[in-house]
Amino acid sequence: MSGDDDRREATRLAHLGRDPAGHAGAVSIPPYRASTILFQTLAELEARDPDYTGVRYGRLGTPSSHAFETAMAELEGGHRAVACGSGLSAVTTALLAFLKAGDHLLMTDSAYGPTREFCDGELARFGVQTTYYDPLIGAGIASLIRPETRVVFLESPGSVTFEVQDVPAIAAAAKARGCTVMIDNTWAAGVYLKPLSLGVDISIQAATKYVGGHADANLGVAVCTAEAWRPVKDTAVRLGVAAGSEDLFLGLRGLRTLTVRLERHQATALRLAEWLARQPETLRVLHPAFPDCPGHALWKRDFTGASGLFAVELRPQPRAALAAMLDGLALFGMGYSWGGFESLILPQNPGRIRTAVPWRDRGTLLRLHAGLEDADDLIADLDRGFHRLRRAAS
């Protein structure tokens, strides 16, 4: 029999982290609701478990978290993973594991807003200085690395502005100077980009998004190399971050259908983006698979697909016209978070937060998430929206 590594992704996703023999034959591992986990003997109680594999305390690990972490580590080609109660707590735990007072952090200017707020808030308060860098800087990152720079953090593509970063070039420059390299890999869902194979130490995901896939779980995960795993796990234990058993169960369940859903998200997003590109109001489509998108060539080189999240930049629209368009949409919901089966649309204003590369004199930015609905129905809904927009604008 050939090894697991030879199997294709869809096959692996159907089997990752499963153990029917250990769970009364059940195909899926049931959610383990456990805080106290009993020891059978005094000898067991006294035995230390430095690897957290058989730990006896709910917050430190249960069969639910072990299964999810094993599955995610295999999916992304990591040594081990650390599950957290949200994507943001996976980000903050990884950062805290490697930073101390006096250190310097290089953070992409395209980072998820709350990640920035953590850098400008808690990290600054505890004496860590953050420099935001141009996401398209590539190997030029070397010129920003100081002796006290400890971490270089990427998010590719940015989840609002969609710049695709040169992951291998940035990772190589950072590693050459002894920095730990982390990436927010939520957009690619751990499927369409394998950051650890490109030199990254920690790949972080809001599993809340595509892995969960149904807008009903809060879950985060940091997939780590052998060197990076222990600091992240120890920090998670000390901070007390842990994922709930129900959310872990939903994350594991989501993995089984992940590639199937992603293919549909991808195909529908491309249909919507192509349609949007043809509207007279459209200035640019910010979708990594489109040549307009900054870093498109890097997406072609490093990614094996595109998920369902992208943006469109329209000629500046009056607020009333935008409201007429958005308020009347029947299928697109307005809401944060994404990666579920439902389509979403949201006006975005990156100009408020960008610092390294100001976002000025730009059009009206709408971020869309293509859900699992029929693409023609979604286009019809958007089409009616654009008619409302035109009527209100004229």
Q: Note whether 86 binds ligand PLP by CB under 6 A.
A: yes
Token readout for 1 is 């029999």
> Using CB under 6 A, which residues numbered 315 to 334 contact ligand PLP?
none
Question: How remote is the C-alpha of 284 from its chain's centroid?
Answer: 24
Q: Which of 71, 82, 88, 154 binds ligand PLP (CB under 6 A)?
A: 88
User: What single-letter DSSP state applies at residue 202?
Assistant: E
Shortest Å, Cβ 393 to ligand PLP: 31
Task: Please answer whether residues 89 and 240 qualify as being in contact, where contact means their C-beta atoms are separated by less than 8 angstroms.
Answer: no
Q: Which stretch binds ligand PLP (CB under 6 A): 5-13, 201-209, 300-308, 381-389?
A: 201-209
Tell me the HSE value of 119 on the side-chain side, using a 13 A CA sphere.
Answer: 24
Cβ burial, residue 149 (10 Å; 0-12/13-18/19+): buried
Give Dmax (Cα) for the chain: 79
220 binds ligand PLP (CB under 6 A): yes
Nearest residue to ligand PLP by CB is 87
Examine residue 254 and tell whether it contacts ligand PLP (CB under 6 A): no
Structure-block tokens of residue 257:
């259908």
Residue 156 is a binding residue for ligand PLP (CB under 6 A): no
Only segment of 4-12, 86-94, 361-369, 384-392 that touches ligand PLP (CB under 6 A): 86-94
Beta carbon of residue 134, minimum distance to ligand PLP (angstroms, whole number)? 18
| Rounded least distance, CB 183 to ligand PLP, Å | 10
CA distances from 274 to 293, 295, 363, 381 (A): 13, 18, 18, 15
Is residue 93 at the binding interface for ligand PLP, with CB under 6 A as the rule? Answer: no
Q: Binding mask 43-82 vs ligand PLP (x if CB under 6 A, - otherwise)?
A: ----------------------------------------
Catalytically active residues are: 59, 112, 184, 209
Interatomic CA distance for residues 94 and 99, integer angstroms = 9
Kindly tell me which residue out of 68, 112, 132, 133 binds ligand PLP, with binding defined by CB under 6 A. 112
62, 64, 208, 259: which one contacts ligand PLP (CB under 6 A)?
208
Residue in 62, 218, 235, 268 binding ligand PLP, rule: CB under 6 A: 218
221 binds ligand PLP (CB under 6 A): no
The interface region with ligand PLP, picked from 63-71, 84-92, 164-172, 323-331 by CB under 6 A, is 84-92
b/e for 89-116, b at 16 or more Cβ within 10 A? Answer: bbbbbbbbbbbeeebbbbbbbbbbeebb
Number of residues that bind ligand PLP (CB under 6 A): 14
β-bridge partners, 57: 61
Count of Cβ atoms closer than 10 Å to residue 79 Cβ: 14
**Binding string, 329-358, against ligand PLP, x = CB under 6 A?**
--------x---------------------
Helices (H), the chain: 9-15, 42-46, 63-76, 87-98, 113-118, 124-125, 167-176, 226-239, 245-256, 258-277, 296-302, 319-327, 375-393
Residue type, position 68, single letter:
F
Contact residues toward ligand PLP (CB under 6 A) are: 86-88, 112, 155, 159, 184, 186, 206, 208-209, 218, 220, 337
